[in-house]
């Protein structure tokens, strides 16, 4: 259900709720008991800000069902110059990769936007430590981690056709691919889940016509600022953003989205919360990088 004007903020605010405006917000209730309401809802009218050719950004503040900050990157898959990179493997092509922050991934690869993707084993406070990717990983045609038979994946072909799928699925045409958990949105319908825990979330969505990819970071574990969402709420928000399919990526303290600023430096889009500290990036194993051309 929509309520009164929507307030969008870019760039990301500092990691404290001092300037939170309760009077301008969007309301969405996406629970099993009111799925009939959210099922008929139209996508929210977001205030998209172009930052690169084919990359637009928007952010959402909400105070219902709890304080939320949601950050969205919309990727036009038909825009010239758009290409993707999943975290590259080491020389042995095994699931073991070196930990790094999203900002480090962006700096090292030269991409314009990055978001965390697959779950992994080996949480650490330090970069360049071994971590094990859990689930499918393919980077520019190099497969180095096998699919999880119970979880879904994002599959990207060499010519930027994207599929968000639950198992079983075929990876024959995948040039880049990243495993996640399960779909949160399938054919426009929120996927029901018994897990109602509230966490920060990272997710990827795809429009019905397959043209737009939505990369989403939802802040959480920050009372009064943004407390996170359940899986069912995630599906509802992804639909309101404009997705038809959506996959839940690794979240919690790993949720992180960064953008290359005009000065070339990584800029944090959301407010990550590694070890419960707002603004603290977690070194993680798996990212998706987006390459794009400057605006004309």
| Higher pLDDT, residue 10 or 249 | 249
State the SS3 of 53-108: ECEEEEEEEECECCCEEEEEEEEECCCCCCEEEECCCCCCCCCEEECECHHHHHHH
What's the whole-number mean pLDDT along residues 62-83? 97
State the SS3 of 145-161: ECCCCCCCEEEECCCCC
pLDDT surpassing 80 at residue 19: no
Given a contact cutoff of 8 angstroms between Cβ atoms, the answer to whether 44 and 216 are in contact is no
Output the pLDDT for position 11.
Answer: 39
What's the whole-number mean pLDDT along residues 257-273? 97
pLDDT band at 44 (very low <50, low <70, confident <90, very high): confident
Q: pTM to 2 decimals?
A: 0.89
Lowest mean pLDDT among 18-32, 118-132, 247-261, 271-285: 18-32
Q: Rounded CA gap, 296 and 23, in Å?
A: 36
pLDDT surpassing 80 at residue 80: yes
Which residue, chain included where needed, has tokens 């949601």? 70
Q: Rounded CA gap, 188 and 190, in Å?
A: 7
Output the pLDDT for position 36.
Answer: 34
Considering the chain, what percentage of its residues have pLDDT values greater than 90?
A: 84
């Amino acid at each position: 259900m929509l309520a009164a004007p929507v307030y969008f903020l870019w760039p990301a605010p500092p990691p404290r709720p001092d300037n939170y405006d309760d009077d301008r917000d969007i309301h969405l209730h996406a629970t099993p008991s009111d799925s009939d309401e959210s099922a008929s809802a139209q996508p929210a009218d977001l205030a998209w800000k172009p930052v690169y050719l084919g990359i637009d950004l928007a952010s959402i503040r909400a105070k219902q069902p709890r304080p939320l900050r949601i950050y969205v990157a919309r990727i036009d898959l038909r825009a010239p110059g758009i290409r993707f990179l999943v975290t590259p493997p080491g020389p042995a092509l095994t699931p073991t990769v070196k930990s790094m922050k999203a900002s480090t991934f962006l700096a090292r690869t030269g991409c314009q936007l990055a978001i965390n993707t697959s779950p992994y084993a080996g949480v650490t406070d330090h970069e360049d430590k071994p971590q094990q990717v859990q689930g499918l990983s393919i980077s520019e045609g190099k497969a180095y981690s096998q699919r999880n038979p119970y979880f879904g994946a994002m599959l990207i072909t060499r010519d930027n056709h994207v599929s968000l799928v639950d198992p079983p699925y075929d990876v024959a045409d995948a040039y880049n691919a990243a495993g996640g958990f399960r779909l949160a949105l399938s054919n426009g319908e929120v996927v029901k889940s018994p897990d109602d825990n509230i966490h920060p979330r990272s997710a990827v969505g795809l429009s019905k016509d397959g043209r737009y990819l939505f990369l989403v970071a939802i802040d959480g574990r920050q009372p009064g600022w943004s407390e996170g969402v359940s899986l069912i709420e995630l599906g509802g928000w992804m639909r309101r953003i404009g997705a038809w399919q959506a996959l839940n990526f690794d979240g919690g303290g790993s949720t992180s989205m960064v953008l290359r600023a005009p000065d070339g430096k990584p800029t944090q889009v959301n407010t990550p919360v590694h070890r419960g500290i707002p603004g603290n990036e977690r070194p993680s194993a798996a990212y998706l990088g987006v390459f794009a051309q400057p605006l004309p």
